[in-house]
Amino acid sequence: MSTTTVTDHRSTRRVDAVWLMLMAATVITTWVLSKDMVSSRIALVATVVIATAKVRFVLLDFMELRSAPLTARALFEAWPVGVALMVVAMT
């Protein structure tokens, strides 16, 4: 087995795991947090935190920024955190 095949297999498994996590996070924000089981403030903050985590995983694993130069990766990871902080601060 070549090194490329092992790397590709691990990469595929990671993408599959991230996809499953994204689907689970969607279920949580869609069905759990929308059922008035928690206060609207908690639901809003939880939804924004989950959305921020989802954006991070998409950027790192589907847009392949995990191997990007540190400066670019830091900027792309800071953007969703900054937006999330602004949204939560406005509520």
pLDDT tens-digit readout, 57-83: 999 988 889 899 999 999 999 999 999
Residue scoring higher pLDDT (7 or 28): 28
pTM value is 0.77
Query: pLDDT tier at 6 (50, 70, 90 boundaries)?
Result: low
Task: Compute the C-alpha angle 9/10/11, nearest 5°.
Answer: 90
Mean pLDDT of the chain: 86
Q: What span, in angstroms and rounded, lies between the C-alpha atoms of 37 and 33? A: 7
